[in-house]
Structure 1
Amino acid sequence: MDSWVFWFLLVQSVIQFPQHVGDGLDEVTHLRMEERAKLQEQKKIQLEREVEQIVLMQGGTSWGHLLWPALQPLQVWPFAGLLVLLLAVWFMWRKRSREAESSDEEKKEKEDEEEEEEEEETWAYDLRWLLDERIQWPVQDLQTGCKRTMALIDNFTSVIGRALTGTFYPVLQQAIGFGSAFEGWTSREEEVVYRVLIPLTPPLGHTFHVERDGDPQKPGRNFRVRVELECSCPRQHQGANPLCFLHHADEVRRRTRQSNLLDSLCTGFYLDVQKTVLWFCALVRASWRRLPQSRSWHLVLLGSTRSCNLRLNNDQESFLVKVLFGVQRHASDIFITSRTRGARTPSIMWPETYAIAETKFFRHMARRVPQDSSHLKCLQLLACVLARKDFSIHSVKTIIMRLLNTVPVSRWHRRYFLLQLSDALEQLRLSLEEKHLEHFILGNQRLPDEIRLPQDVRRAKPPNLFHGLVQDPATHSLAMQTYFDLHHRLARVLAYGHL
């Protein structure tokens, strides 16, 4: 309050201070000015007393109402200007104070963000060091191996296909790579095997009919490929075509000097796996020198009754290719193939496989997950430390596929590697305890649309991959012990980088 009184008196003194006059004024004017000065001095003294009385007052009357009668007869505009100036200075001071406080808060937030970023960078560096440098991963270049394999098999099918033109042997379609190597992961405990499927279609004058094997004693879904001769005569003149196998089989043999498919690669009316494999291996031996790979690689055919196994090596490296044969079901990603099922698989049995659909699922997810995804690292680490004799790696792969199909794709970034590894182990533990793990492809209604399934596969009841644990308590106990050993082996890998 004293400051306001001071400023008020200062303004009044500026307004009412008597002005100097020149020496040339007359005496009357001089006397009038002295009287006016005395009068103003008396008013000033009186006003000062009134102001002092106001200061001593304790009532609630506002300053504005008390000063206004005193100011009204005076010139108030200079005072108002000074007041506006003071208010402007006060607002500027408040604004700068708030800006300083805001700047301090922003600086503190920025420092906190920088600390969090430093912590994330430190964590990312530690995890990158763990995944890229600490853990000893398999050293194979899978992408190069897959490209090399497909180039080799494509050359084989191209050369053999030209040689089979006009014959009555199965027609070789474009090969399809599948399995772990083509999915981007592998186990270090064994040599990488590049698996390839060559689809077969019937030759001219023949048809394939896929029949389900209903024997409940045989595991899985198994089929047979029934081969039938097809009439190639004009519709209105059956039997008019002398090269129709159905009506003139002997004439066709005489003219072409070739037998039909029933006579060459079938047992009875059904396509024989072993005969088909031997036929293809013979063609591989005969056509190898025509391939450009023969100039830099040495080819060895390994014995097998249900697949054609090729080992190629040179002075620096070697790789193994396993060729299977199959028949496509209803233009889908499901095939019946020559793969082995059990110790004694009948030669006319073609087990149904879902490996092509699984590989297609991994390729689909590779386009959706972050570029630095951890799902393949997670799967490969588990495959590397798992004791394969106790339960199948395919069970672990099934769990990873189920997590990929349910967990948001953003959660597969490298920073969540340990979290996803923990989730996979927990799902494995629950499945082992419950002795239940459903097949991922068979009966799955939530697959991506690009994976094509026959209706009977889509509507089938998913089989339990751990069905054997239900029937054999000893096997279940061993599987649980394997799980605990897996935990121990993972801890060693994460701690020391190797088993």
Structure 2
Amino acid sequence: MQAGIFKVCLVVITAIVNHPLLFPSNNSALPTTDDLIIQKLKEREENLQLQQLELEQLLSRQEPPPEDDTETESKPTEDESLWDFWSVMSMIVFLMIEVWRQDFLDKSPQEQSKEEDDFMVNGSSCHGVSFPSKTMLAIFHDQYIRTTTNDAARTREFVEGFADDLLEALRSVCNRDADMEVEDSICVGSMYENWRLNKPLICDLLVPFAPPEPYYFCCQPWITSKSIIPNQQSYGTILVCGPEDQSGCVCDRKKLGEDMLCLLHNPSSKKKVTKDVNLLCSKESNYLDTDQVMKWFQTAITKAWGRISHKYEFELTFNHLDYPGALRVKFKSGKVISFNISPVVQYDDSDLYFISQFPSMDRATDLASSIHWNLSFAVYERRFLKDIAKHLPGNACHLSCLQIITFLHSKQCDITGPSGLTSYHLKTVLLHLLLTRSYYDWSNIMLEDRLRDMFKSLEKCLLEKRLNHFMIGNSKLPETVSLPEHFHTAEPLNLFRSFVLNRDLYQKTLSMFYEMLKNATVVINEYSFHLPTGPSNKNSH
């Protein structure tokens, strides 16, 4: 028995030592073709057979001579059975090693190439990066963020008042029987969520509009359709319907008595359809066209400003021709205030809106077609932040974390150029963390720890190429958000899907992220006042 174990150990050790994958220094080059692999295997098999014969001869010399005839007849039988058993075990071991080697050769090159692209960017990671100290973060927050927040409050107050006046003038110049009906503006975005930091300070306002009666919009979000590909789930279409399209009401399918009236379609309340109604549809279809809407809105804004311009002592111009809702106010003193006022369509009776274009995105890459509309969850996001702030400790650090990381991101983009990472992605990371961390973890004294959590979470999402939309398909969403049910139960939407489809964009974004990590401490120090050196400051750390 001991001799058999000794044989197997020698043979297995010999095979392992000669294995090219375990000891590449002895076999630096692996065969690259099937013929070379077969030839190497044959040579290895011959060498193992020779080694096996040598071991048998060596062991036969060490065995003592038999004492009698009975032992001579029985001993060879036992040795042969033991040798057969250990020979079979040796072949099984060799077979397992060879199968593992073939499987490794088939899968290893692709897996290694992906890991090098996805997980290795100059050997960087969050674990090896030094973040600014608590003292320096506190100084930066007091000296830079708080000052900017004061300016934001004054900017919001001016924009809200001027937007109300401008929209009222817009309604007065429109024909109510032929033009779109404009409602009051809705304030959304970073300025009204109190985390906008980067200048210029830009306010975002949504302006819902609707067609004149008896026409109406029928919104069709693609999130409810299983046939839509994943990267288009955040879009939808808007069908413009008229009196002949009221097939959903019972009164269209049944004849009502003379003494019965439909409360939805009372004939006395119907307006006469004007032939000159501009429904802003695309050519040869009944779908609302984003280009037509933006042209109409630009014209309406121009007429409205012409009516009230004499009341103000400043200039109003369009900030971007590609986005007519981007306006710019310039005072005589030279001060400039910019804001975005976006025409949107309300989805049913919810706070979800269809928007032609997000102001921060390039229109050329934002939409695949002029009849495709983006879904905006801005009202729900603002409501969530407002509700959760009621449960967080006083002077919580969640918005400060978002302000600091967006500040670092913008400064890094100024150096390396824009990438696939946006401020909305950073905001989404924070929203997810607010649901996973306890309320007490967001105390102001935990600013450094929560900022580190945000960077780690963002790094994990980048490496996995997956960042789920906070609203769509989020089972952890509180009921107070009151999101429509089919959005709540839908499949999660991956905001990083573009990284899966565009490898170059992903590499650029990942490199920018790690550069931002490396430069974080330096940038914070440059925008902070230096502490005077002294013993008291040493103890503060």
Q: Which residue of 2 aligns with 1:377?
A: 400
Q: Which amino acid aligns with 1:282?
A: T
Q: Partner of 1:271: helix, strand, or coil?
A: coil
Q: Which residue of 2 aligns with 1:39?
A: none
Q: How far did 1:310 drift?
A: 1.2
Are 2:242 and 1:224 equivalent residues in the alignment?
Answer: no
Q: Which residue of 2 aligns with 1:434?
A: 464
Q: Which residue of 1 aligns with 2:515?
A: 485
Q: How far did 1:420 drift?
A: 0.7
Q: Which residue of 2 aligns with 1:155?
A: 165
Gap change, CA 1:285 and 1:423, over 3 Å in 2: same
Partners in 2 of 1:144 and 1:434 — Cα distance?
A: 41
Gap change, CA 1:394 and 1:302, over 3 Å in 2: closer
Gap change, CA 1:243 and 1:457, over 3 Å in 2: closer
Q: How far did 1:451 drift?
A: 2.0
Q: Which residue of 1 aligns with 2:352?
A: 334
Q: Partner of 2:479: helix, strand, or coil?
A: coil
Q: Which residue of 1 aligns with 2:211?
A: 202
Partners in 2 of 1:378 and 1:423 — Cα distance?
A: 10
Partners in 2 of 1:482 and 1:467 — Cα distance?
A: 18
Partners in 2 of 1:346 and 1:394 — Cα distance?
A: 23
Say if 1:222 and 1:352, in contact at 8 Å, map to a contact too: yes
Q: How far did 1:300 drift?
A: 0.9
Alignment of 1:94-133 (within 5 A): 128-133=138-143
Say if 2:171 and 2:181, in contact at 8 Å, map to a contact too: yes
Q: How far did 1:372 drift?
A: 1.5
Compare 281-290 and 439-448 and name the one that shifted more: 281-290
Q: Which residue of 2 aligns with 1:348?
A: 371
Q: Partner of 2:220: helix, strand, or coil?
A: strand
Partners in 2 of 1:427 and 1:150 — Cα distance?
A: 36
From 299, 323, 326, give the equivalent of 2:341. Answer: 323
Gap change, CA 1:321 and 1:455, over 3 Å in 2: same
Alignment of 1:90-489 (within 5 A): 128-133=138-143, 138=148, 141-164=151-174, 166-188=176-198, 190-212=199-221, 216=229, 219-230=232-243, 252-253=274-275, 259-262=276-279, 267=283, 268-291=285-308, 294-305=311-322, 307-316=324-333, 317-339=335-357, 342-343=364-365, 345-386=368-409, 387-388=412-413, 389-390=418-419, 391-489=421-519
Q: Partner of 2:318: helix, strand, or coil?
A: strand
Partners in 1 of 2:371 and 2:508 — Cα distance?
A: 35
Partners in 2 of 1:140 and 1:269 — Cα distance?
A: 47
Identity of aligned residues (%): 20
| CA displacement 1:206-262 (0-9 Å, x = unmatched) | 1211134666496343222211222799976899979967xx75xx54xxxxx2344
Gap change, CA 1:426 and 1:279, over 3 Å in 2: same
Partners in 2 of 1:226 and 1:420 — Cα distance?
A: 45
Partners in 1 of 2:230 and 2:478 — Cα distance?
A: 33
Could you say what the CA RMSD is over the residues aligned between the two structures, in angstroms? 3.5
| CA displacement 1:397-446 (0-9 Å, x = unmatched) | 11111112222223222211111111111111222222222111111122
Q: Partner of 1:361: helix, strand, or coil?
A: helix
Say if 1:400 and 1:424, in contact at 8 Å, map to a contact too: yes
Say if 2:143 and 2:528, in contact at 8 Å, map to a contact too: no
Q: Partner of 2:241: helix, strand, or coil?
A: strand
Q: Partner of 1:180: helix, strand, or coil?
A: coil
Partners in 1 of 2:328 and 2:489 — Cα distance?
A: 40
Q: Partner of 2:232: helix, strand, or coil?
A: coil
Identify the structure with bigger relative contact order (alpha carbons < 8 Å, sequence gap 6+). Answer: 2
Gap change, CA 1:135 and 1:276, over 3 Å in 2: closer
Say if 2:140 and 2:528, in contact at 8 Å, map to a contact too: no
Gap change, CA 1:362 and 1:240, over 3 Å in 2: closer
Q: How far did 1:314 drift?
A: 0.2
Q: Partner of 1:185: helix, strand, or coil?
A: coil
Gap change, CA 1:125 and 1:435, over 3 Å in 2: closer
Partners in 2 of 1:135 and 1:306 — Cα distance?
A: 29
| CA displacement 1:428-479 (0-9 Å, x = unmatched) | 1222222222111111122233323222211111122222333455544433
Gaps of 5+ in 1: 1-122, 254-258
Partners in 2 of 1:359 and 1:468 — Cα distance?
A: 26
Partners in 1 of 2:266 and 2:408 — Cα distance?
A: 66
Say if 1:306 and 1:338, in contact at 8 Å, map to a contact too: no
Gap change, CA 1:496 and 1:136, over 3 Å in 2: farther
Compare 220-229 and 287-296 and name the one that shifted more: 287-296
Say if 1:333 and 1:451, in contact at 8 Å, map to a contact too: no
Q: How far did 1:298 drift?
A: 1.4
| CA displacement 1:51-96 (0-9 Å, x = unmatched) | xxxxxxxxxxxxxxxxxxxxxxxxxxxxxxxxxxxxxxxxxxxxxx
Partners in 2 of 1:141 and 1:167 — Cα distance?
A: 42
Gap change, CA 1:342 and 1:220, over 3 Å in 2: farther
TM-score, structure 1 normalization:
0.64
Q: How far did 1:382 drift?
A: 0.8
Partners in 2 of 1:128 and 1:165 — Cα distance?
A: 55
Q: Which amino acid aligns with 2:236?
A: F
Gap change, CA 1:134 and 1:204, over 3 Å in 2: closer
Gap change, CA 1:220 and 1:148, over 3 Å in 2: farther
Q: Which amino acid aligns with 1:311?
A: R
